[in-house]
Structure 1
Amino acid sequence: MAYECFEVTIEDKIAHIRMNRPEALNTMNKAFWNELPEIIHDIDNNARARVIVISSTGKHFSGGMDTTVFTGDRDAPKHDRYIMAEALRSNIKHIQHSFSCMEEARMPVLFALHGGVIGGAVDMISAGDIRWCTKDAFFSIMETNIAMTADVGTFPRLQRYIPEGWAKQMAYTGMRLPAAKAKEIGLVNDVFDTHEEMMDAVMGVAREIAANSPLAVTGCKVLINYGRDHNTADTLDYIGVWNAAMFPPPHMAEAFKARMEKRDPDYPELSELRDTAM
């Protein structure tokens, strides 16, 4: 399927989503917010891949929100400010879901970043599982510099990955956080000299993930995220429930057999999900 803002390829159980509006600095226009969740849900619901990689094109990963998103329909009927505020809240929830769907997807979402990761792009990458970048990358919560508060996911997520003090400094100032500091404080796992080197490394990790049991990997994602949001006792209890229901002896037997036979294991894929209730 053709998209305005993205190119999507799926090969060897790896889905590669490339942001593809370099002439517009890959800013996030109205099509972006609708296409991204459509792509993620399609991959997830239909179990089309075991891992998702998101990268970009051009000078910057993304310049953040496209200003056309703020303009609205100038010909729309005018309402009082309370009615407009309620409508805006609903629209913000829709936009937030465009990123939350990556966190909710059953397979890991990996980000390969370069150039500017600005404004809404920081919200976006905060919803992924692992991030890498090139040495020219920088990260900026730019919303503060245009007199607004970031609202699409930066604040509940960013401080899970970096110290609270750095999250606050970035947010209060709109500063540019350089790649080296991003690695130092844990926002990215590694920094590469070139885009080619980064993509080779990221795709290498993606291949390693795709070689593992999809059920085991999604279990890791679910339980790591659950542990992040709950205390140790609750998380240990939920891990017990998860393994009691989904511990797969046949998958483990296949893993050991494949090792003995010096071949790649053959695991079943995740099930396709229903779009509607039964």
Structure 2
Amino acid sequence: MTAANANTAPETAIPALGPWTCFDVEIEGGVAHIRLKRPETFNSMIRAFWNELPVIVRDINDNVRARCIVISSTGKHFSAGMDLAVFGGGGTSNADGGAAPDRFIAAEGQRHHIRWLQDCFSCLDEARMPVLVAIQGGCIGGAMDMTSACDIRYATEDAFFCVQEINIGMTADVGTLQRLPKLMPEGVVRELAYTGRKFSATEAQNLGFVNAVYADQESMLAGVMALAGQIAANSPLAVTGCKEMLNYSRDHSVEDSLKYMATWQAGMFRPTDMMKSFQAKAQKQAPKYDALFPVKPLFDQ
């Protein structure tokens, strides 16, 4: 594939990488569906989970395999959160097998381990395409970190949420405390973080954490996949521009965000997509937009 035709290449049916221990991945109609597949363990986040998720998301993102991502799960619960074995990944012994280093060296290694875990979910926030998540049953601990990094959340009536870390004697450290205050009132976030109490799908919707609550998982997935299809049908450049601006505005002042918007629009507003939209409407057809370029285009040898 050359750089010249990369933006019009057909979508890949499945990611080039895999198979996966913790996930199933399907891509159809411009929508990548990433499904947690370990219901017998309540989809706990074992080491393989943390290794696989960023690889899958970045593969979809970098190679423009889809225009929207949907994350869902299987079984009774969306996810019980981080497997306890993952907590030991910070490194407490010397590489040469000698005695454990002093606490300062160990702490430096632990910091890098935590930053790595954080990056595993930040890839969802940083993806060029929107990420929608469909939640059933329990969304606990690390699952709160994960879902708060997605663009939009949906839930079933039986779903419940919990900032679980305080209940096991630690501070949530993989994104919940940084992202939740941007998604719901800070006073409520503080209550949830300090108490570790469960809150229902109805409360989550009232707080603005989830957009809609469905009667069951089947109807939820049907609704979420339909919404993802609507997103995928829009101009990929315009959609990624929306996500870029919304994320930037979340983290910066209004004035700085307006300046960035003007710069983005000056360089990346594409009249061609607007014309395609007008022409398709006049012809009563669905517009067909060019895909984004891959982040790392492949060139002919």
Q: Which amino acid aligns with 1:59?
A: K
SS of the equivalent of 1:8 reads: strand
Instruction: Identify which of 228, 236, 246 aligns with 1:206.
Output: 228
1:98 aligns with 2:120: yes
1:69 aligns with 2:86: yes
SS of the equivalent of 2:70 reads: strand
Q: Which amino acid aligns with 2:273?
A: H
SS of the equivalent of 1:132 reads: strand
Instruction: Identify which of 38, 55, 58 aligns with 1:41.
Output: 58
RMSD of equivalent CA atoms: 1.5
Q: For residue 59 of structure 1, what is the aligned residue in structure 2?
A: 76
Q: For residue 17 of structure 1, what is the aligned residue in structure 2?
A: 34
TM-score, normalised via structure 1 length: 0.96
Structure 2 segments unaligned to the other structure (5+ residues): 1-17
- Aligned-residue offset at 1:74: 8.9
1:112 and 1:218 map into 2 onto residues whose CA distance is 21
1:242 and 1:235 map into 2 onto residues whose CA distance is 10
Q: For residue 101 of structure 2, what is the aligned residue in structure 1?
A: 79
Q: For residue 151 of structure 1, what is the aligned residue in structure 2?
A: 173
2:88 and 2:281 map into 1 onto residues whose CA distance is 58
1:173 aligns with 2:195: yes
- Aligned-residue offset at 1:71: 3.8
1:28 aligns with 2:45: yes
May I ask how many residue pairs the two structures share in their alignment?
Answer: 276
1:87 and 1:229 map into 2 onto residues whose CA distance is 28
TM-score, normalised via structure 2 length: 0.89
1:69 and 1:94 map into 2 onto residues whose CA distance is 12
Q: Which amino acid aligns with 1:70?
A: F
SS of the equivalent of 2:182 reads: helix
- Aligned-residue offset at 1:70: 2.1
Which portions of structure 1, spanning 4 or more consecutive aligned residues, are displaced by more than 3 angstroms? 71-77
Q: For residue 272 of structure 1, what is the aligned residue in structure 2?
A: 294
